[in-house]
Amino acid sequence: MGGANNICSDKTGTLTMNKMTVTNVYIGVDKEVKVTEPTYKFSDYFQNAEHQELFKQAISCNTIGSADSASATEQAMLIMMKKLGVDVEVERKKHYLDPQIRFVFTSKRKRMTTVIKNVGKTDFNHDRRAHIKGAAEIVLDCCGHYLDENGAKQPITDGVKK
C-alpha cells in the first residue's frame, strides 16, 4: 500500500459483490424506495397509471437480459420490476418491434435507446416511443419535457435538471 494514492471502500456491496439496488425514483418528485421490503406496490411510488406504464415499459423493454443474467445496473432495475409484480417478458412481447430497433449502450454514446410499439396515444399521433437510459447529463440533453408528479407534461428547466 506504500504506493497507493487513493483507497476506496465499499459499504453497499456494489464493488465487492457486483450488486446494485434501486434506492430512489424520480416522478416529478424524488421518492425513496423501501429497499428492505420483499415486494413493492406501484401505489407507493406512482400516483397515476401513466407513470406506472412508462416505468414498466422503460425498464422491461430498455434492458437486456434477466434479473439473473443482466449487468449489475440492469439487474437492480429488473429486480425492482420483479418486486412490483411485473412480468418483464410479457411486457417485452407486448412492446417490442419486429425487427427490434435498439441502439445498445456504448462508452462513446453513454446511453442505450430502444424503440417500442403499442404505447397508446402520443403527442405525435403514432404508436411508438423511444426509451433512453444512460448517463444523466446525456439523457437530460435529449429531453425537452418531463411528467410532473401528477402526470402533467412540463417543460424541463435547468432547475429541474439539477
Our answer to whether residue 10 is catalytic in this structure is yes
Q: How far apart are CA 155 and CA 162, in angstroms?
A: 14
The alpha carbon of 26 is separated from its chain's Cα centroid by a whole number of angstroms, namely 10
Q: How far apart are CA 70 and CA 151, in angstroms?
A: 30
* Residues 68-72: contacts with CB under 8 Å, at least 24 apart: 72/14, 72/18, 72/19, 72/20
Residue among 10, 30, 68, 123 flagged as catalytic:
10
C-alpha cell read off for 106: 456504448
Which residues are the active-site residues?
A: 10
